[in-house]
Amino acid sequence: MWAIDAPALPHENAPNQPPSKQSAITQMGRIVADSTPAEPKLSEKLTEAERKLEEVRTESDKTQGRHEKECRELSSQTKTLKGEKAATRRSASAWRTEDLASQIRNASESVALPHYSLSRS
């Protein structure tokens, strides 16, 4: 609530004296007068806070858009790299198969196999 920094009224110094109607009205007037200048300040602060909130929301939307774009790009790159990896595997597998076939041919050429002739008897 609002802090009231009003000077003590004469009756407030006397013990057990009820405040007069006029002093209560005066005191209420001080409270209203004290709170009135603060109201525009609060309104300004509220407007400023709403403006900043809108800026943050706008920036958040921009950031989210950038993040979504980056995610799509990374996803595309990942798919491309997975395809390249699979192609490399197939290539390596084919190379190993060719290498094994070559080794078998070389080994079979170096081993003297007896020649058999097949004839019908």
Task: Write out the residue range of the structural domain in which residue 59 sits.
Answer: 20-107
Judge whether 113 lies within some domain: no
Q: Express each pLDDT in 30-86 by its tens digit.
A: 665 555 556 678 888 888 999 999 998 888 888 888 889 999 999 999 999 888 888
Helix, strand, coil content of the chain in percent (nearest 5): 80, 0, 20
Q: What is the pLDDT of residues 3-39, one digit of tens each?
A: 555 555 555 545 555 656 666 666 666 665 555 556 6
Total count of domains within the chain:
1
List the end-to-end C-alpha distance of the chain, in Å, as a whole number: 123
Query: Taking all residues of the chain, what is their mean pLDDT, rounded to a whole number?
Result: 74
Question: Could you tell me if residue 81 is inside a domain?
Answer: yes
What is the residue whose two structure tokens read 């000077």?
A: 7
* 28, part of any domain: yes
- Token match 């300004």: residue? 44
6 domain-assigned: no
Residue 55 maps to a domain: yes
Residue 13 and residue 34 in contact, taking contact as beta carbons nearer than 8 Å: no
Domain for residue 45, yes or no?
A: yes
Q: Is 3 domain-assigned?
A: no
